[in-house]
Amino acid sequence: MGKPFSEIFQSYVNKSYGELLDKGKSKLSIFEAEAEKYFEGSQVNVSLFILTFISQAIAADGKFTFLEQKFISDLLSTEPENLLSLLKSEAVTSEENIELSNKAISSFSKEGRSAACILALIVAAVDETITREESDFLKDLAK
Please give the pLDDT value at position 2. 66
pLDDT for res 12 = 95
Tell me the DSSP string of 37-56: HHTTTSS--HHHHHHHHHHH
Q: Give the Cα separation of 137 and 108 in Å (integer).
A: 18
> 5: alpha, beta or left, given left = phi > 0 and alpha = psi -120 to 50?
alpha
Per-residue pLDDT tens digits for 95-129: 888 899 989 999 999 999 999 999 999 999 999 98
CA of 29: how far to CAs of 35, 59, 140, in Å?
Answer: 10, 22, 22
Torsions phi, psi for 62 (to 5 deg)? 75, 10
* Mean pLDDT score across all residues of the chain: 90
pLDDT value for 121 = 95
Looking at the chain, list the stretches that DSSP marks H as alpha helix, in order from N- to C-terminal side. 5-13, 17-38, 46-59, 66-76, 80-88, 90-93, 95-107, 110-125, 132-142
Q: How far apart are CA 86 and CA 93, in angstroms?
A: 9
Predicted pLDDT at 142: 86
Whether residue 83 is predicted with pLDDT greater than 70 in this model: the reply is yes
pLDDT grade for 94, boundaries at 50, 70 and 90: confident
**Lowest-pLDDT range of 45-59, 63-77, 86-100:** 86-100
* Most confident listed range (53-67, 73-87, 100-114): 100-114
